[in-house]
Chains A and B, each alone.
Chain A
C-alpha cells in the first residue's frame, strides 16, 4: 500500500482521495450492472416480495452509499491507489486456469505437477531444481491424501493411459 497522495489529485481532476474515488466508481458500476441484470425479475406483488425485490434493495443501497463515499472522496484527502504488479496475479491465474483445463483430461498426477511448476514461476526467488523436487514430493503427497486417503472422485492418470 502506498500512502502518498497522488500528485495528480491536486491538479485538474480535483480528486483528493483517488483510492476511494476509483473503488466506489467500480462499486457503482457493479450496482448498476446488477440492477440491469436483475431488471427482468418480478418485484413486489401485494404483500409478498418477488425474486427481484431483495437484489434491487441491496443494489440500491450499494449505489447510494457508494455514491456518497465517492462524493466525499472528491473533497477529503486520502491515499492513492496502490501500485499493481503484473507477474504475481498473471502467473497465479495462469496456474489456476491450467489446473481447470487439465484436471479432467490429464488426471490428478500430471495436473498437480505441471500446475505446481507453473505457479512457481510467480516468484523471482524460485530455484528450479529445488522446485522440481518439491513439486514431485508434493504431487505424491497430494495423490496419497486426496486420491487414496480421502477417496475423492478424481481421475489419477490421463484417460489414454488406462
Chain B
C-alpha cells in the first residue's frame, strides 16, 4: 500500500509538470473534438499525430496520445445522443437509448449522465490500473491463443444477444463481418485474399470506412426518406442537468458499467467497444424493465458510457505490462513507444517507473479536465439540435468524406464508404443490424490469428478449446448466453407458424 502511494506521488509529480499538463489538455481537447466529429476517429487522429510527437519527450507524447483516446470516449457520446451517429465505434450502443432520449427532449440529462459516468469510471479505472497493474499481469499471462479465441467468441455472442431484433439475423451479420474482414493480405503468408488484384484492397477495407458508411451515410439516407422536420428538429430540451431520479437510476448502472468495462478493458481482444456492448447487454438482462431499452432509458446511456471509458483506460494494462496491444489504438501506442525507443512490456514498470506511473496519473488529471471542459460545453452541443436537418446532413456528408479521405489520402476509401452507405440502406430495408457486422469486422483478423495459433500449438487438435479450463469456461458462458437468449425467440416463432394458419 505504501508502495502504491509513493508510486502514485511519483506519477503525479511527473504528470503535473507544466509541459505535461499542457500536452494532456491538448490531448483531451483534440480527443473530444474527434470524438464529436463523425468521420474523424481516434485511431486516425492518433495515427496522424504520431509523426508530430516525435519532437516531444516520450512521456509527454504518450500522455497526449492517451488523452486523445479517452477524450474521444467523452466526445463520442455527444454525437451518438444528438444526431444518432456514433462519433466513435465505442459509442455505437449509446445511440440506442441516447438518441431516443434526445428525441424525447432529454438530450441534456443524457449528455450529463454520459459525462458523469465517464468521469466516475475514469477515476475508478485510474485507481485500478495503479493498484492492479502488476498483480493482474499474472492473470493475463494465463491467456494463450485458445483462451483469446474463446474470449472473442464471448464478445461476439454478447453483441448478438444485445442486438435489436432476430438473433439468427444478428449472427448472420457477425459472419458477414468476419468474412469481409478477411479481404486483404494474409498476415502470415502475405497472400492477397479476395482482392482481385486491386491494389486498394491489398490492406483490406479499413473499419473506419465500413463504419462511416454503415452508420454515417446510411443514417442520412434513411432520415431523408422521412419528413426531416420530424427529426432532431422538434426535440425540446427541458433542463440540461439530470434530475435526482435520473441520478438514482443511473448510479448502479454506472457502477456495474465501470466494473465490467475495467475487466473487459484488461482482457486482450476486449477493449472499449466490447465493453460498451457488454455493459448494455448486462443492464438489459438484469433490468426489471428490459422493454424500456431502446426507448430512451437513462440506464442505457450510463452503463455503456461508463464502461467504454473504464475500458479505454484499463486497456493500457496489457500494453504496459505484457506489451500486447489489445486494440487498434493500443497498436498505435506501440508505434509511438518504439518511435521513442521504448520497448513495451513488463520491463517498463521496473525500468521506467516515471513513464508508467506518470501516464496513470495523467489519466486522472485528464478526466478531471474532461469533465470541466465538457459539462459547461454541453450547452454548445445541445445548440446543434436547433440546426435544421436540411442544413446539417450535407455537413455530415462532407465531414465524413473529408475525414475518410484524410486517413489514407485515398479516394477509393471515400467511394467504398459510399458503397457501404448503400449496403446499409439495403440492410435497413431487410432489418439487418449494422452493429454486429462491425464487431465481426474488428474481431475477424484477431480471431483468425488466435484460431490458427491455437491449432498449430495443439498440433491440429480441435478439441483444445474445450480442454483448457479457462477457454472451456468462456465457451460455456457464450453457449449459456446464447441458449437463454434464443429459446424464447424459437418459442415465439413457432407460435407465429401455428397461430397464423
Contacts and interface: CB of A to CB of B under 8 A. Distances in A.
State whether these chains interact: yes
B6 interface: no
B410 to A, nearest CB: 9
How would you classify the secondary structure of chain A's contact residues: helix, strand, loop or mixed? Answer: helix
Nearest to A127: B390
Contacts of A156: none
Contact of B182 (A1, A54, A81, A83): A54
A87 interface: yes
Contacts of B221: 88-89, 92
A123 B48 contact: no
Interface in A51-98: 51-55, 58-59, 61-62, 65-66, 68-69, 72, 75-77, 79, 81-85, 87-89, 92-93, 95-97
B390 A123 contact: yes
Interface in B162-209: 166, 168-169, 171-172, 175-176, 178-179, 182, 186, 188-189, 191, 193-194, 196
Contacts of A87: 224
Interface residues of A, number: 80
Contacts of B188: 51
Interface residues of B, number: 69
A135 interface: yes
B398 A119 contact: yes
A131 B391 contact: yes
B196 to A, nearest CB: 7
Contact of A34 (B172, B194, B394, B417): B194
Interface string A13-27: 000100110111011
A34 B412 CA distance: 21
Interface in B368-410: 388-391, 393-395, 397-399, 401-402, 405-406, 409
A62 B193 CA distance: 18
B175 A19 contact: no
Contacts of A154: 406
Contacts of A41: 186, 191, 193
Contacts of B409: 153
A76 B406 CA distance: 47
Given A47-B456, A54-B182, A138-B398, A89 B425 contact: yes
A65 B221 CA distance: 29
Main DSSP-derived SS at the B contact region:
helix
B483 to A, nearest CB: 16
B452 A100 contact: no
A140 B493 CA distance: 55
Contacts of A38: 182, 193-194
B179 A92 contact: no
Interface string B404-444: 01100101101101100110011011111000000000001
30 contacts: A1-B431, A22-B430, A30-B176, A49-B451, A52-B193, A65-B168, A65-B172, A65-B175, A66-B172, A69-B172, A75-B497, A76-B497, A77-B500, A82-B428, A87-B224, A88-B222, A89-B421, A95-B397, A96-B217, A99-B414, A100-B415, A100-B418, A103-B405, A112-B398, A112-B402, A115-B401, A120-B390, A131-B390, A134-B394, A146-B402
Interface of B: 48, 166, 168-169, 171-172, 175-176, 178-179, 182, 186, 188-189, 191, 193-194, 196, 217, 220-222, 224-225, 228-229, 388-391, 393-395, 397-399, 401-402, 405-406, 409, 411-412, 414-415, 417-418, 421-422, 425-426, 428-432, 444, 447-448, 451-452, 455-456, 459-460, 493, 496-497, 500
Which 9 A/B pairs are nearest by Cβ-Cβ distance?
A: A23-B430, A88-B224, A96-B418, A51-B186, A82-B429, A119-B394, A47-B460, A100-B411, A54-B448
